[in-house]
Structure 1
Amino acid sequence: MHAFANLLDRLSYEPRRNGKLALMEDYFRHTPDPERGYGLAALTDELTFQNAKPGLIRALVAERTDPVLFALSRDYVGDLSETVALMWPRRPRQGDLIGHNAPPGPLLSEVILGLQTTGKAALPGQLAAWLDGLDEIGRWALLKLITGALRVGVSARLAKTAVARLGPVEVNEVEEVWHGLAPPYLTLFDWLEGRSPPPESRDPAPFRPPMLANPTDLEELTRTEAPEAFAAEWKWDGIRVEVAAGRDAGGRHIARLYSRSGDDISATFPDVVDAVDFDGAIDGELLIVREGMVQSFNVLQQRLNRKSVTEKLTRDFPAHVRAYDLLALGGEDLRPLPFAERRARLEAFVAGLGPMFSVSEPVRFGTWEEVAAARADPQSAGAGSDAAAVEGVMLKRLDSAYVPGRPKGLWYKWKQDPHVVDAVLMYAQRGSGKRSSFYSDYTFGLWTEVDGAPGLVPVGKAYFGFTDEELKEIDKFVRNNTINRFGPVREVVHEAGEGLVLEVAFEGVNRSTRHKSGVAMRFPRISRLRWDKPPGEADRLATLERLIPSDAAESAAARRGRRKR
């Protein structure tokens, strides 16, 4: 546990990508099995603990500390794991006596296996014993494992890149075998260090890591790329999925639906899986299509993450896969082929699959200016009645192989410009981790009629989009203009003549019965500080409501009707 805790501590203070890679590579090279494998699992978010939850941590610390002191400390520090790690009152253990060597703290493998196997009743005592046996950094790392939020600036891809450096392989080769492996990844390390051949997957419907696109704009395309080298297609506003199917050793047909991150979501969309009667793999977008028209993402959300899927749900929210690419067919891996060839085979293949599948239509163009015009007006450029579900344009080099990850220069995404509104800062709260000393989580509002008079109503929250310097400016404003406190939340001045206006960018907006304003923003972020604008000139709620898709308003009305009945 000591080595992994030190790794997390150093990663949290290392801002450079190459610096983080060097730290992780050193850890994987010099930490023995199975410890390094469990460390890799933690860094790639592959661990789940049924009984270990943040509530358990709060209950434990409440037994050993004054609750008021803990609440004040939690408010000041801003992070649960860090607060408990700093103030945990250790109890002496056997061996902690003068003249005796204290017993070593637990191994990472012991902790992880213990968290996975210890019963709910025995877990609090076991966790308290581990905390007593660790120093502050070790306690912090242990608690980060339990809360599932390491927040050390390491993505799963970066961790896999570091482990790939142990052998003469590319990170994409690690991605290829990753979903057939399980912690502590002994076969992976044996392969990377030359003791065995690559791990083999016998899964007839494996997940294939997706190829991702880099953002672009007209200036970059005009300066760096030739339009004749690319194909264009619509970028649909659903969720990226992979449909994979094949036959096992007994000849049984297996079909699965994967999310972009490799999660098996077949149980949530059995109608899609039941429609798969081929052996191969399709990369596409999962959408809801009613009466031939693609619905908004808000409609799709009503089927996502459902634990039970009824016949009525599948009937009211019919799923559909709009295919982007053909990755495999009949046992043949098509990913090394050029995109132009894969696309031709995709169109011929999907034509015979039935109504569950369709091909994402190409966007015809000759110049980048024509792509820009299509992006600005999808309806006139061929998207027709589905234009409201178009998120932008995808550009794919005709000669590009299908390469996992986000390679440069092969695929581009040119998303539609975000919506923006000028909103007034109303409430602020400290962030977590590095931002625990700053008020970095903001609630903002728009003007509307409140009890017959103009007033602000909260419409969203955001905690990113600003620079470090802007964060310091907002933090200073919050501290100097606090008018009320609600636990860790500060209310700041927000009158018509006083306050701070934030320009908020967002991807979309829908009706919501869970929010006081009746609307919910999608992916809001702070795009600019409007020191130049008086709060009284900020936008009104009606400005936001005009952006709501008609199907979102209808579905919200239907839900209200069901509740009344």
Structure 2
Amino acid sequence: MRAFADLLDRLIYTRSRNAKLKLITDYLRVTPDPDRGWAMAALTGELDLPGVKPALIRTLIEQRVDPVLFRMSRDYVGDTAETVALLWPTPPIAPDPEPLSIAQAVDRLSSLSRSDAPAALAGMLDRLDSDERFALLKMATGALRIGVSSRLAKTALANGFDLDVEAVEEVWHGIAPPYTALFDWAEGRGAQPTAADVPVFRPFMLAHPLEELRVDLKDYAAEWKWDGIRVQIVHVAGTTRLYSRTGDDVTASFPEVARDFTTPGVLDGELMVKGDAQGSATEEGGAASFNALQQRLGRKIVSAKMLAEAPAFVRLYDILFDGDEDLRVLSWEQRRVRLEAFATRLDPDRFDLSTVIAAEDFTALEGIRAGARDAAIEGVMLKRRDSPYVGGRKTGLWYKWKRDPLTADCVMMYAQRGSGRRSSFYSDYTFGCWTEDGTLLPVGKAYSGITDEELKRLDQFVRNHTTGRFGPVREVEKTLVLEIAFDSIHQSKRHKSGVAMRFPRISRIRTDKPAAEADTVAALERLIT
């Protein structure tokens, strides 16, 4: 645990990407199995210790220090793991002097019931110093937030052992932590793992924002960009898996899709649902809004009622494999022909094709895009006709041209400290709009879209205009208007206002506008599609 704690500490204070790569590479080269495998699982978000939850950690620390002191400290520090690591008291009896390895911690915590986990975790924390406690808690809760992406960690592994990062990425999700087969291959003790008999994840091909660029539609094909979740559907050796864009296995949340995909191959598409959670009519294009899909995300067990009321389907974008034939080297036009042929073998109620937009030129496409504010349409995708399917974002191949955002003038109501480098600032804001009787109701939360200077201004406003405190939350005077940009808005029974924004962010600070002139909930309701 000592070496992993030192690694995290250095990564947190290192900004350079190359320096971070070297730190992880050096750690992997000298750390033995299985500790380095579990460290990689933690760095890539693949470590799951269900017996350790944030609520358990809060309970443990509040049994040992004054709860008010902990909450005030957590509010100031902005991170539970760091606060607990610093406040954890030295035990009255000298702890076990034997160093605690990552593997020992994982083996112990992963095998415990929730009732046994508190005592085991407390015993481990008693044995560690503050840096090691921080590492253990971060690892156990899966919330590292140290500026290291999953891709960066895999790149460090590849660099450290002279491997191809795409080859590592391709088999990553088919090998369980602590990745013994992967390290055996890396150090020459075993053969390269393959995807021949495992439904593994392949990196998605991604797009750059179009921005001000105009392209020639003789070279690029245009498709709608749908507002669901991007998925990869894999069927091999009698097994089907659904992967999200980040490589998370979401098969359990959408069992009907997996059940109906039994043709060997790998497809790329947008997963959506028909109708909404109340079974209402579907939107144009057969897809409901993202709000309806959200009811099913993250569920490990989906009820028969939900399967009936919000059935999932996939709008197909691309094909990577047809059987065991790798089609990624083919051009988009060639893959499109293969995709259309493959789709004829699938259930049309569960799988359909994303339509290629017919437009004479880019100017005509602009007009088509401008009229496409459907609840399930995010914008337009532009794909170079001769492009192969390559993982990641490659300049000049695919572009995303998202629809223009909606905006509303809202009043700041509450604020809370952020996390990481924003932990000293009130950077997370709840904002509201007016009802007909003059009541201000919350309609959303946002923390992005502002510059560092604007963050300081808003933080100062919160501190100078606080009217109440509720734990870590400050209520402020209802005098500051924020222009909020958002992609779409939907009805929501979970919110008192009855509406929920999709991807809200702060567009600008409206010091020029009185709070009384901010938008109304009724005005937002008229934007619901």
Provide TM-score, normalisation by structure 1.
0.86
1:231 is the counterpart of 2:215? no
| 3-state SS of 1:64 partner | coil
Q: How many residues align?
A: 520
**Aligned AA (1:59):** T
Structure 1 residues 353 and 59: CA distance shift in structure 2, 3 A: closer
1:351 is the counterpart of 2:331? no
What is aligned with 1:410?
Answer: 397
What is aligned with 2:172?
Answer: 178
1:371 to 346, 351, 365: 365
Q: CA deviation at 1:521?
A: 1.1
Q: CA deviation at 1:106?
A: 0.9
Percent same amino acid among aligned pairs?
Answer: 57
1:522 is the counterpart of 2:502? yes
In the aligned structure 2, how far is the partner of 1:127 from the partner of 1:265? Answer: 29
1:89 is the counterpart of 2:89? yes
What is aligned with 1:560?
Answer: none
| 3-state SS of 2:435 partner | strand
Contact 1:172/1:405 (8 A) holds in 2: no
1:455 is the counterpart of 2:449? no
Q: CA deviation at 1:312?
A: 4.2
1:426 is the counterpart of 2:419? no
In the aligned structure 2, how far is the partner of 1:264 from the partner of 1:128? Answer: 31
1:326 is the counterpart of 2:310? no
Structure 1 residues 347 and 51: CA distance shift in structure 2, 3 A: same
What is aligned with 2:474?
Answer: 490
Structure 1 residues 132 and 390: CA distance shift in structure 2, 3 A: same
Structure 1 residues 122 and 410: CA distance shift in structure 2, 3 A: same
| 3-state SS of 1:401 partner | coil
In the aligned structure 2, how far is the partner of 1:444 from the partner of 1:127? Answer: 39
- Give the greater-gyration-radius structure (CA): 1
TM alignment of 1:230-379, pairs within 5 A? 230-246=220-236, 248=237, 253-289=238-274, 293-355=286-348, 356-378=350-372
User: Which segment drifts farther, 39-48 or 66-75?
Assistant: 66-75
Structure 1 residues 311 and 419: CA distance shift in structure 2, 3 A: same
Contact 2:375/2:488 (8 A) holds in 1: no
In the aligned structure 1, how far is the partner of 2:287 from the partner of 2:17? Answer: 40
Contact 1:337/1:402 (8 A) holds in 2: yes
What is aligned with 2:14?
Answer: 14
Q: CA deviation at 1:259?
A: 2.7
**Aligned AA (1:297):** F
Q: CA deviation at 1:537?
A: 2.4
Structure 1 residues 89 and 467: CA distance shift in structure 2, 3 A: same
TM alignment of 1:67-216, pairs within 5 A? 67-94=67-94, 103-216=97-210
In the aligned structure 2, how far is the partner of 1:239 from the partner of 1:365? Answer: 26
| Uncovered stretches (5+) of structure 1, i.e. residues with no partner | 97-101, 380-386, 550-565
Structure 1 residues 20 and 179: CA distance shift in structure 2, 3 A: same
What is aligned with 2:35?
Answer: 35
Q: CA deviation at 1:388?
A: 4.0
What is aligned with 1:99?
Answer: none
In the aligned structure 2, how far is the partner of 1:181 from the partner of 1:79? Answer: 32
Contact 1:41/1:47 (8 A) holds in 2: yes
- Which runs of 4 or more aligned residues in structure 1 lie more than 4 Å from their structure 2 counterparts after TM superposition? none
Contact 1:105/1:130 (8 A) holds in 2: no
1:473 to 451, 454, 457: 457
In the aligned structure 1, how far is the partner of 2:65 from the partner of 2:299? Answer: 39
Structure 1 residues 489 and 360: CA distance shift in structure 2, 3 A: same
Contact 1:54/1:146 (8 A) holds in 2: no
Structure 1 residues 77 and 273: CA distance shift in structure 2, 3 A: closer
Q: CA deviation at 1:156?
A: 0.9
Contact 1:90/1:131 (8 A) holds in 2: no
User: Which segment drifts farther, 363-372 or 432-441?
Assistant: 363-372
Contact 2:235/2:261 (8 A) holds in 1: yes
| 3-state SS of 1:165 partner | helix
Q: Deviations over 1:109-164 (max 9, x none)?
A: 21122211234444323322222222211111111123321111111112111111
Q: CA deviation at 1:184?
A: 1.7
Structure 1 residues 204 and 109: CA distance shift in structure 2, 3 A: closer
**Aligned AA (2:428):** D
